[in-house]
């Protein structure tokens, strides 16, 4: 059985594992896509505070990053779906070594790509929540001073 080295551990790349990974990625990416709606609403909810505060530049940058990452989610989701649909080559019972190895190589690259994206996405979410927390905190301090 073939193995690949990924981030310091070995992953068995059989059809069942690749199918499960693809389904997990699709689920996480679909959730992230839905989560984008929440993030857009969150930014809209605090638009006045963001425009009126020291957080303006951060808010503008964050809004741009959210739009950019939304496009990345769509692209990556389509790529994972295409990959999942190509799994047939692994389970069709025919010996197509070159195509099967190419599929495994594509899967290995997707492991790295999806994990890197999800790490970046988590960092963006953390930044967004820190920004909103700062805006809320500033709003409370203004009200206390008035």
Tell me the per-residue pLDDT of 4-47, one tens digit each, with 9 for 90 and over. 554 544 455 777 888 889 999 999 999 999 998 888 888 888 77
- pLDDT, tens only, 60-76: 788 888 888 989 999 99
- Rounded to two decimals, the pTM is 0.76
**Domain assignment present for 37:** yes
Residue 110 lies in a domain: yes
**Residue 7 counted as domain residue:** no
**CA distance between the termini of the chain:** 70
Round to whole Å and give the CA distance between 101 and 138. 56
Alpha carbon 126 to chain centroid distance? 13
Is 5 inside a domain boundary?
no
At a CB cut-off of 8 Å and minimum separation 6, what does 128 contact?
Answer: 39, 42, 43, 62, 66
Instruction: Summarize pLDDT for 71-126 with one digit per residue, the tens.
Output: 999 999 999 999 888 777 666 667 777 887 888 888 889 999 999 999 999 999 99
Do 53 and 135 touch, CB atoms closer than 8 A?
A: yes
Q: Is residue 2 in a domain?
A: no
Its domain, for residue 44, covers 14-145
Confirm whether 55 is domain-assigned: yes
Q: Is the residue at 8 inside a domain? A: no
Residue 9 domain-assigned (yes or no): no
Q: What is the domain count for the chain?
A: 1
Q: Kind and range of the H or E element at 12?
A: strand 9-12
């Amino acid at each position: 059985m073939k193995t690949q080295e990924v981030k310091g551990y070995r992953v068995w790349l059989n059809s069942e594992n690749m199918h499960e990974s693809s389904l997990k990625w699709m689920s996480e990416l679909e959730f992230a896509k839905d989560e984008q709606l929440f993030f857009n609403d969150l930014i809209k909810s605090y638009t006045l505070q963001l425009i009126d505060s020291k957080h303006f530049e951060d808010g503008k940058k964050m809004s741009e990053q959210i739009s950019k990452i939304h496009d990345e989610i769509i692209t990556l989701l389509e790529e994972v779906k295409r990959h999942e649909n190509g799994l047939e080559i692994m389970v069709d019972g025919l010996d197509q070594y070159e195509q099967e190895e190419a599929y495994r190589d594509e899967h290995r690259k997707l492991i790295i790509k999806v994990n890197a994206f999800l790490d970046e996405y988590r960092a963006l979410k953390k930044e967004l929540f820190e920004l909103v927390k700062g805006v809320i905190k500033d709003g409370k301090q203004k009200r206390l001073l008035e």
